[in-house]
Structure 1
Amino acid sequence: MIYPFIRKHRFQYGVEKLCTVMQVSRSGFYKWLVRTPSPREIERKKRKKRIRDVFFLSKKRYGSPRITAVLKAEGMKISSKTVARLMKEMKLKSCMARKYKATTNSNHSMPVHENTLNRKFKVLAPNKVWVTDITYIRTREGWLYLASVMDLFSRKIVGWSTGARMTQELVLDALDMAYKQQKPDPGLLHHSDRGSQYACSEYQKRLAKYKMVGSMSRKGNCYDNSCIESFHSTLKKELVYVTTFKTREQAQKELYTYIEFDYNRSRIHSTLGNKSPHQFEQLYFENLLA
């Protein structure tokens, strides 16, 4: 630890003064300076470089557990504790989560569905269960609202829509996108909260048109729709809280990149065996064909 410190500050304070203060010999420092690195040091340097690469490739979003998973998938033998220690040495810190408020309003007199999903979040095939919710993004022009539809099997966002107001058109556009892209078979279970946007007649007619079965969370119970809320929380801490959006248009472009590429295709999920939603779906279809 002493010699690297002297090397770093030698031009500022001088080698002689630093060696005197640190109580080491100049000859010892110069021998260390030209010596060949040990295999252990070479390996440590290699690990730190790869950790840094993965950290910045994830846009500073991965903490030590996910970086460890990536390194192990590459064949490196390393523990999460070691990764955390090396990240601390390099002052690499992932984005921090913040709390956010609810958006939809369940104080209405419209009919609601029973909670058919009932927290059965493990699904065995794509396009069997979708969950949906709304969140908000701050821009300098005002709020931008995001409606998202998630396939519970792979945690993939199959449909999404943005708008300046939290209307029924916002959630209908997200549902339409999901249906057109995925073309699910009749009987898909569609779960949402009890918000008026989802309980309104237009949205219920669309579910009937697509032959989907409705399910809604119990009143005031956020855990019933925790998977899609977890996605919105992740989106907030990894994108929204670290970006200043000047316009709604800028936010829409950033959301497109994050959802379609970063989240769906690249970001690994511990619940998916440290695979991205795209990789998880590909593996499913490959096994199905086999």
Structure 2
Amino acid sequence: MCYPYSKKLFTRTVDLYREQYQESLTATCRLFGVSRQVYYRAKRSIVQRKQTAEKVIKMVEEIRMQQPRIGARKLYYLLTDKLSVLGVGRDRLFAILKANHMLIKPKRAYHVTTDSHHRFWKHRNLIEGITPTRPEQIWVSDITYVGNRDYPMYLALVTDAYSKKIVGYDLSDSLKSTGVLMALKMAVKHRSYHDQPLIHHSDRGFQYCCDGYQKALKKNNLQCSMTESYDPYANAVAERVNGIIKQEFLLEYKLNIESMRQLIKESINTYNKFRPHSSCMMRTPVEMHQQSSIEIKTYKMKKSSKLTPATPYI
């Protein structure tokens, strides 16, 4: 019987608190020189920005399911249309990723894989100063360490210098020439332009200079080119692709060799088909490999102070 009275009292109490809150809010807004409308507008804006950030984070997470360490610039390119609908530009995307600790910090690990002090034949550098203008004009090869203390592993890659497509690869547990030969065999098997001349470029590691590898190059009519210095920029494309595969796909994993082979197969497939390259005008390696009309951006070599005299102040 007392329920209606209690309900009426409760409603009146709520109304009283609401009035007191509104009066207090009005007084506070006057104190800081703003209106209540500005306060509520700012409050709604905070909620909207939070909802937008949550949507952006969800889209980024979907892409990073396939490409775990893809950078913010590539993310912006891939999500441009969706971000424009949300009113998010490049700088705001960077701010959202930074606030949520989602920016990628490069991690560097150095492991020697090249031994150029050997008795095998060394070739001259045939690609110095040449910018490739078509796919399968220049292949670059290199070996990189992808293992761990329990499972030492070495990944041999053959990459097309124009399209940045990985055309051949092999994972082995040693630095023997078997791995690079398997990678070359895969690359030759899947060639698309057999009637075009092709240069094979590498460092002077014994794996590339040995008799078996040199015979394989001659058998498949590939002209051999090699670096003539210890400058990593002499084989910049191969070094860059090595870094992408390790930094963006393999860095967080410590697996045995069989599991790593499967991961590398999936990673290279994703890299070739889905990862845009800034040097390829943000096209994927597969898209670039299917045409030859787009001019690529080249990897610039650092100028040595030993070669270039300093300009005096005038």
Instruction: Classify the TM-score, shorter chain.
Output: 0.7 to 0.9
| Secondary structure of 2:170 counterpart | strand
Counterpart mapping for 1:28-39 below 5 A: 37=44
Where does residue 220 of structure 1 map in the other structure?
A: 230
Q: Which moved more, 1:142-151 or 1:40-49?
A: 40-49
Where does residue 106 of structure 1 map in the other structure?
A: 116
In the aligned structure 1, how far is the partner of 2:196 from the partner of 2:293? 24
In the aligned structure 2, how far is the partner of 1:152 from the partner of 1:74? 32
Q: Percent identity?
A: 29
When the two structures are superposed, what TM-score results if normalisation uses the length of structure 1? 0.78
What is the deviation of 1:55? 4.4
From the superposition, tell whether residues 73 and 178 of structure 1 become closer, same or farther in structure 2 (CA, over 3 Å). farther
Where does residue 92 of structure 2 map in the other structure?
A: 82
Residue 274 (str. 1) matches residue 285 (str. 2): no
Where does residue 252 of structure 1 map in the other structure?
A: 261
What is the deviation of 1:115? 0.5
**Per-residue CA shift, 1:137-172, capped at 9, x if unaligned?**
224642111110001111000000111111111111
Over alpha carbons, which structure has the higher Rg? Answer: 2
Counterpart mapping for 1:100-249 below 5 A: 100-120=110-130, 122-139=131-148, 141-182=150-191, 184-185=194-195, 187-245=197-255, 247-249=256-258
Preserved CA contact (<8 Å) 2:139 2:158 = yes
Between Structure 1 and Structure 2, how many residues are aligned?
Answer: 257
When the two structures are superposed, what TM-score results if normalisation uses the length of structure 2? 0.72
Amino acid at match of 1:63: G
Preserved CA contact (<8 Å) 2:141 2:202 = yes
From the superposition, tell whether residues 185 and 73 of structure 1 become closer, same or farther in structure 2 (CA, over 3 Å). farther
In the aligned structure 1, how far is the partner of 2:61 from the partner of 2:230? 37
From the superposition, tell whether residues 119 and 79 of structure 1 become closer, same or farther in structure 2 (CA, over 3 Å). farther
Preserved CA contact (<8 Å) 2:133 2:292 = no
One of 257, 261, 264 as aligned partner of 2:272 = 264
**Per-residue CA shift, 1:223-271, capped at 9, x if unaligned?**
11111111111222223321121x111111111110122x111111111
In the aligned structure 2, how far is the partner of 1:63 from the partner of 1:164? 30
Where does residue 15 of structure 1 map in the other structure?
A: none
One of 31, 47, 55 as aligned partner of 1:49 = 55
From the superposition, tell whether residues 153 and 48 of structure 1 become closer, same or farther in structure 2 (CA, over 3 Å). farther
What is the deviation of 1:129? 0.7
RMSD: 3.1
Could you tell me which runs of 5 or more consecutive residues in structure 2 were left unpaired when the two chains were aligned. 1-23, 29-36, 295-314
| Secondary structure of 1:143 counterpart | coil
From the superposition, tell whether residues 117 and 51 of structure 1 become closer, same or farther in structure 2 (CA, over 3 Å). farther
Amino acid at match of 2:59: D
From the superposition, tell whether residues 107 and 280 of structure 1 become closer, same or farther in structure 2 (CA, over 3 Å). same
What is the deviation of 1:44? 6.9
Where does residue 21 of structure 2 map in the other structure?
A: none
Preserved CA contact (<8 Å) 1:106 1:219 = no
| Secondary structure of 1:189 counterpart | strand
Could you tell me which runs of 5 or more consecutive residues in structure 1 were left unpaired when the two chains were aligned. 1-23
In the aligned structure 1, how far is the partner of 2:288 from the partner of 2:91? 27
In the aligned structure 2, how far is the partner of 1:258 from the partner of 1:268? 14
